[in-house]
Chain A
């Protein structure tokens, strides 16, 4: 958390909701009144390849890209993408992977990305309501219940 800026990277494969998840992190911090920048590369990455997205927040953020090796939090949605992204994490940074959540307790297993945000939220002092508002804003109403359940599972372990 150098210079008061927190760096989060969300990584996984195209189609897993990586950009959706990083968008929610950015929106949450924005709702909490912080300066935020979120950055990603679109394009070829949509076709099942590796995807990662950077979110930086704090009092004032300049570059939208997390410098290599300076991520405070690395959230990886696909187990096989852990090793290719590990170098992004700073020494002492927090790695959050799918096994942090009991997958069998998810009401919709596609919501694993949101469950991992629940785990991330435990480490950040941000009002829960900011997270929940951002999640509601990111999905159509019919998906609210499943995603709120996933977030709660990650945040509270139940």
Chain B
């Protein structure tokens, strides 16, 4: 691919292109800003891409694929890795036969997230190598590298992106993607993959041995490089912060780290020794600065106020100047809102009018918290509406407990709500409970991705469909109602009152396809019917 042409790609697109060029056999994940476009692009390129019900399942599927010798990639946003943390930690022990790249797309500044967690900590906690690209070219190159490192040391690799890397479009020249993958084949490795304590103990030691080897290799890795400059100021940085640094301090010498765990400690020590003042510039937690200090290298780090939010060229200039004066307040724009005519509006109007205590969840409908509805009392993580609602019901005095409702979207319900319903059936509160599934037949918030409840695959082709009514009844919850909230708002109101009064376990499925996708859904259905007819005709 020496004559490859230059393309303008987002970081997400670049990751997908590299995975495709290296013959990744499977891409799986759960949609989440800013990671979503990786799998969509991988699918468009012709790769085998799938949405999983949640990130834990995605990582497990990818791990299984990597056990066969194949190359697999699992994508998710930062909070998704919390869900997938369980397989991640032990996958570090089992290792892989092919390649497993776990993409964590962090969201400093919370453009579209509920927290600002810094997933670099996961690399250390689980013991997996971590690469941090700073633009789309590196997103491409580092994905190739991640696959190579994963195969060489038979270990999962964390590719840590951030919003500005995922969603900035920058020039990419695709490089040589070699070697091709080996054909998948099952080779039994009971001691390597069955993590009973007797086999896990040596596996834990093997993992540390691998990390020690990788660290030694990383000391001379081309993924970490020095940009020579004035020795009065040395800056150690990684990811998008590198770009801000080059612009804010064009004459400084810079150690740009691309491979940040296990850290190239001696390289850092030598760089710091050569600079009169050495400063770490990083977004989020002072993770890098603390890791560097822990090995006895003296570096300055940013003041605490810069832990929060994204960095930028002006903020890096302030850090360099030690400026801790209050920053100019950002000018508030127009907040987002539920679309005019959105069926969620009717639901939140009803919840507001009935003065319900609403345990909410993650999706477009979280906007029900804003005026004029202000009908949401908690929003924590995917699926939490049901567990939190039950907890409220268990301990509130009965007159308050009777007003508690859990509200969850269709995709979120499949992701993490089902186990909440199992809990409800198993440990019912004395006053019963009411769960509202807002089924708009898509994952709307992240840009209308399919999920197991839509009956269509990532590429919008027909597949098995989870029928919520059947699933709920199967759990032994007899009171299941389905209603169109915009078609019958009064009926919805009545049903809510009846359900709350019943003091039983009730699930109401408020179903109306998202206005923005209704036309598309009809197209998909038409295409599916056509295919069926063609098959029957054959």
**What residues make up the interface of A, taking CB atoms closer than 8 Å to B?**
13-14, 23, 26-27, 30, 35-50, 52, 61-65, 67-68, 80-81, 84-85, 87
Contact = CB atoms under 8 A, between A and B. Distances in A.
Contacts of A48: 334, 336-337, 339
B332 to A, nearest CB: 7
Nearest to B34: A42
Interface stretch (B240-248, B383-391, B427-435, B501-509): B240-248
Contacts, number: 110
Find the residue from B246, B312, B334, B364 having the highest chain A CB count within 10 A.
B334
Interface in B330-353: 331-339
Contact of B336 (A27, A30, A44, A87): A44
A36 B111 contact: no
30 contacts: A13-B334, A30-B171, A37-B135, A38-B8, A39-B168, A39-B169, A40-B167, A42-B33, A42-B111, A42-B167, A43-B33, A43-B34, A44-B336, A45-B336, A47-B338, A48-B334, A49-B333, A50-B333, A62-B244, A63-B247, A63-B312, A63-B313, A64-B164, A64-B170, A64-B243, A67-B312, A81-B333, A84-B332, A84-B334, A85-B331
Interface of B: 6, 8, 33-34, 111-113, 135, 163-164, 167-171, 240, 243-244, 246-247, 312-314, 328, 331-339, 364, 367, 445-447
Contact of A87 (B113, B331, B364): B331
A62 B168 contact: no
Contacts of A30: 6, 8, 171
A49 B519 CA distance: 23
The main secondary structure of chain B at its interface with chain A is loop
The main secondary structure of chain A at its interface with chain B is mixed
B334 A44 contact: no
A27 B335 CA distance: 29
B333 A37 contact: no
Given A47-B364, A50-B335, 20 more contacts: A35-B171, A39-B167, A39-B169, A42-B447, A43-B33, A43-B112, A44-B112, A47-B338, A48-B334, A48-B339, A63-B246, A63-B313, A64-B168, A65-B244, A68-B314, A68-B328, A80-B334, A84-B332, A84-B334, A85-B331
Given A27-B8, A63-B244, A46 B447 contact: yes
